[in-house]
Amino acid sequence: MRTKRPHDAQGTDARVRGSDRLLRVARVLAAVFGGTWLLALTAGSLGATGIGALVASSGKLVFFVGLVAVLVVRGFAAAEDRAAWWLLAGAVGSYFAGALAYELYYRGLSVAPRPSWSDVGYMGFYPLACAALLLMLRSRVRRLTAATWLDCVITGLTASAFAAAVALGALVREADGGLAVVVTSVAYPIADLVLLSLLAGALVVIGRGAGAAWWWPAGGVALFVVTDTVYAYQVVNGTYQVGGPLDIGWSAAFTCVGMAACMRIRTGIPGRAEGRLVLVVPAACALAAVGLLFWGYLGEGDPVAGVLALGAVLAALARTGLTFRDVRALADSRRQARTDELTGLPNRRSVFEALEAADDRLATGAGVAVLVLDLDRFKEINDSLGHAVGDALLRQVGPRLSRELRGEDLLARLGGDEFVVLAADVDGTDAMTLAARLRTQLQQPFRIGGMSLTIDASVGVAIGPEHSATAEELLQLADLAMYSAKAGRTGVAVYDDARDGHGRHRLEAVEQLRTGITGGQLVLHYQPKLALATGEVEGVEALVRWQHPTRGLLFPDAFIDLAESAGLMSRLTSTVIDMALAQARSWADDGCLLTVSVNVSPSNLVDEEFPDEVAETLARYGLPAAALVLEVTESILMEDRERAVGVLSRLRDAGVGVSIDDYGTGYSSLAYLAALPVTELKLDRVFVGAMTGSPRAASIVTSTLQLAHALDLTLVAEGAEDQATVDALASLGCDVVQGYHLSRPLPPEQLWSWLQDRPPATVRSLA
């Protein structure tokens, strides 16, 4: 069955398709203008003057115009990084302006001034490019911590230090030009180093999720560093020639920028390293910087490189300090997460971690004992003396119990006044002895604020692997044994399956029922309801069964109470409604529209979202609201009448039928009956089954029928077991009957066959 895609998903797909088209346009432009400059470089290699030089200079300018266009188009294709790509387009445009000024004016001069307006245009490239990279980094990493910034600084300074050591040192030492020439020439590689530092740091921050869109510009900036350093060296020494091999380096560098614009930037959370790997890059950079400083100490290094390396080392030291602080905070956080705030003992989380570790011991057959202690009369102390005294008492329990425990034993607070001891290599006799000693410690008076308080404790004991092969189940069994000790006032009790097994099996049954509800183990049987006035079957009641994987088909009395006590009734009811409406839809598609009645739990009637859930289910199956009748008991209405009436009113306003089930056996009241938003009364089978042999029962049926009709309600008589009862109800003017005389509850397939076998007039057609 095809479903309509959500509107936002369609919009996202459209944006992705548009982005892909723009990326293809950018790639075409890059190919065209890249080829233009390649032809221009080829022509330039034929000669530095004449036609070759003209073609080379014109081709270079056309290439820059094309590169700006590529970056602008790329900006349209990237919603998050649009401003960054347009800033990068502005950076290339500034470089183009410098190149244009040089070609139109300075190229014709015999001696070009340094610095010149061309240099202003060229240098304008760097701040705009840095701003663009920062914006891209910000869109990839939403929160930059101090440690992240330091990683960036360390990596960038180290890369710059090595570049300076290799290039700038020799450049400054051998320069014989004027100060302005040297400063202008050196400014280019220095700006390149700043840009390279930013890129190197960004790659460290983004990590393995960077992708080609980041590595291409990194390669381009590296080419800039090399090419601009050679250019500066040639300028200050008077050996630079226009149209030489350096143009190939610059063209390759800008080509890398164009290639980056043609790549799709990876989305999602950056793949940052975790654990010890976090320190690998800053540690390696710090060691490299120390080596560079040592090289400078031997007199072979460059002062600029030394300053950069020193900065990298200092940043690494600061990063180390942050790391130690984070490690300490993490250790403190882990300790707090596993420690009870009031007593300082391990908490429930620590207990379950210890239980997981104990499973390994149990697997080898080693003994493990779990003791659960619950303080007696603690609630009385809290209520009479206040929670402050109760808390003070709980703080003294841990030290008392620790006196009787070994160093490897675990003592923890589970919550409230309940504590647990986990002891290894302990058998049943040793565990009972330990429990007695722990009780003795607690029976000694506690001194709190000048008062002397005496308490006692009930202790439950479970031994593994004798009672269970899993430590977590041992905790449950010890808890059951503790309740037995408290109920029997025995002080200490070891788990006994004959005595405590019901509680254990009940826990297992709850989990099985939870799995059954979600795993499709529920099945519905349907009992028809006959309209006496027409002789037609107009509705059915859905009755739930549990197809248990080992116990077979279970009726409601075997699991409804379990579902109520375990808080599963609301989920079970919602599942039954969904199944019943799905079946009603199937019958309707086959030409038979039947209303379905479903029993509703108390938890549904106090859930203010329940009416919306019912409406959504009806809409999903395309059924009218009148196709569903919800049956509630009088006792439910008496428990929380105000909220129940509010929920039922919303259901009734939506058109859903509301029936009072088992009417006459609860707390029947004419006052609340007149105010309830119900559509039918379902008279209990106790009165219906006895009406032919008991004048009093017949009178109750008659009066109830008259009351229902007076209130404009439909009366449903359940428990019609024979034809005489059906005839008596028909003579009284009863509306609907339901019972074994008509049919037992049947699976949907059998009910459909039953309906087909009846005379055609008894089945209401959709036509």
**pLDDT tens-digit readout, 193-214:** 666 666 665 665 565 555 666 6
Amino acid at 696: R
Phi, psi of 258 (to 5 degrees): -65, -40
CB 194 within 8 A of CB 130: yes
Helices 117-140 and 179-206 cross at an angle (nearest 10°) of 10
Mean pLDDT of the region 15-41: 51
Share of the chain above pLDDT 90, in %: 26
- Among 715, 723, 725, 719, which residue's Cα sits nearest to residue 739? 719
CA 275 to chain CA centroid, Å, is 22
Q: In terms of pLDDT, which residue wins out, 736 or 95?
A: 736
Angle, vertex CA 615, rays to CA 613 and CA 619, nearest 5:
115
CB 75 within 8 A of CB 90: no
Q: Is-cis flag, bond preceding 115, omega within 30?
A: yes
pLDDT of residue 100: 82
Two tokens, residue 212: 């080609």
Give whichever of 238-252, 607-621, 752-766 has the largest mean pLDDT. 607-621
pLDDT of residue 557: 87
pLDDT confidence of 109, banded at 50, 70, 90? Answer: confident
pLDDT of residue 292: 47
pLDDT confidence of 93, banded at 50, 70, 90? Answer: confident
Give whichever of 98-102, 163-167, 354-358, 662-666 has the largest mean pLDDT. 354-358
Q: Which residues contact 433 (CB under 8 A, 6 or more apart)?
A: none
Mean pLDDT of the region 346-373: 87
pLDDT(568) > 70: yes
pLDDT of residue 133: 75
Distance in angstroms (rounded) separating the CA atoms of residues 218 and 221:
5
Distance in angstroms (rounded) separating the CA atoms of residues 716 and 678:
13
Distance in angstroms (rounded) separating the CA atoms of residues 765 and 767:
5
| Domains 348-495 and 521-761 in one fold | no
Sign of torsion, CA 40 42 45 46?
Answer: negative
- Among 588, 605, 604, 606, which residue's Cα sits nearest to residue 596? 588
CB 422 within 8 A of CB 368: yes
Give me Rg for the CA atoms of the chain.
42
Helices 280-297 and 146-163 cross at an angle (nearest 10°) of 40
User: Which residues does residue 58 pair with via DSSP β-bridges, in sequence order?
Assistant: none
CB 533 within 8 A of CB 735: yes
pLDDT of residue 151: 57
Q: Match domain 521-761 to its CATH number in 3.30.300.210, 3.20.20.450, 3.40.50.2300, 3.30.70.270.
A: 3.20.20.450
Is the pTM higher than 0.75? The answer reads no
Distance in angstroms (rounded) separating the CA atoms of residues 569 and 515:
13
Q: Tell me the three state secondary structure of residue 676.
A: coil
pLDDT(607) > 60: yes
Distance in angstroms (rounded) separating the CA atoms of residues 468 and 471:
7
CATH 3.30.70.270 corresponds to the domain 348-495: yes
Q: Running DSSP on this structure, what letter comes out for residue 743?
A: -
pLDDT(223) > 70: yes
Judge residue 16's burial from the number of C-beta atoms within 10 Å of its C-beta, 0-12 exposed, 13-18 middle, 19 or more buried.
exposed
- Among 730, 739, 683, which residue's Cα sits nearest to residue 532? 730
Amino acid at 287: L
Helices 50-77 and 246-261 cross at an angle (nearest 10°) of 20
pLDDT in tens, 658-688: 998 888 776 555 666 777 788 999 988 888 9
Share of the chain above pLDDT 70, in %: 64
Q: In terms of pLDDT, which residue wins out, 326 or 109?
A: 109
Q: Tell me the three state secondary structure of residue 454.
A: coil
Amino acid at 389: V
Segment (H or E) for 622 = none
Distance in angstroms (rounded) separating the CA atoms of residues 114 and 117:
9
Mean pLDDT of the region 515-536: 92
Distance in angstroms (rounded) separating the CA atoms of residues 46 and 61:
18
Q: Tell me the three state secondary structure of residue 651.
A: helix
Q: Where are the domains of the chain?
A: 1-134, 141-337, 348-495, 521-761
- Among 752, 704, 743, which residue's Cα sits nearest to residue 527? 743
